[in-house]
Amino acid sequence: MRPTPGCTEERLQRLFDDYNRRYWRGRLPRYNVVISDKHWGSACDRRNRQVLFHPVVFESSSERQVRETLLHEMAHAATPGVHSKAWYREMKRLHRLGACLNFLLMSFKERRASLPCFCEF
């Protein structure tokens, strides 16, 4: 696995905007992508419109996994609850549209306990 130390907030923000256009026709509200050590893993903070990444995510994830994790959090921004049925449907919709989600979807049930997401907002 190739670590991705080059991930910056600017780059992740561009990815967010690109995915928003591509998969939500730009309809997701604007979220700021923030790299912060205040939350473990990654999270979607709906109240403050932020997608949070802990810096350690980039040490232990490939570029592809970082992209998948961003989409995972964006699906939270688009649906209520935490890993709800609506969220899972959204992930499947993204997958059908060609989004790169193999790592998170292939064995979702098995991975559920170890998902890198700590969405509690």
Which residues form the interface with Zn ion (CB under 5 A)?
A: 117, 119
Nearest distance, CB of residue 105 and Zn ion, angstroms? 13
Output 10 or 61, the one with its CB closest to Zn ion.
61
CA 115, 71, 46, 61 torsion-angle sign: positive
CB of 116 to Zn ion, least distance (A): 8
Q: What is the DSSP string of 84-101?
A: -HHHHHHHHHHHHTT---
* Residue with smallest beta-carbon separation from Zn ion: 117
What are the tokens at 77? 């921004």
Half-sphere exposure of 65 (CA within 13 A, CB side): 19
Q: How many residues does the chain have?
A: 121
- To Zn ion, the closest distance from the beta carbon of 53 in angstroms equals 13
In whole angstroms, what is the distance from residue 119 CA to residue 82 CA? 7
Give whichever of 57 and 119 is closer to Zn ion, judged by the CB atom.
Answer: 119
Rounded to a whole number of angstroms, the minimum distance from the CB of residue 39 to Zn ion is 12
Residue 25 or 114 with smaller CB distance to Zn ion: 114
Q: Which is nearer to Zn ion, 20 or 45 (CB)?
A: 45
Contact 52, 120 (CB under 8 A): no
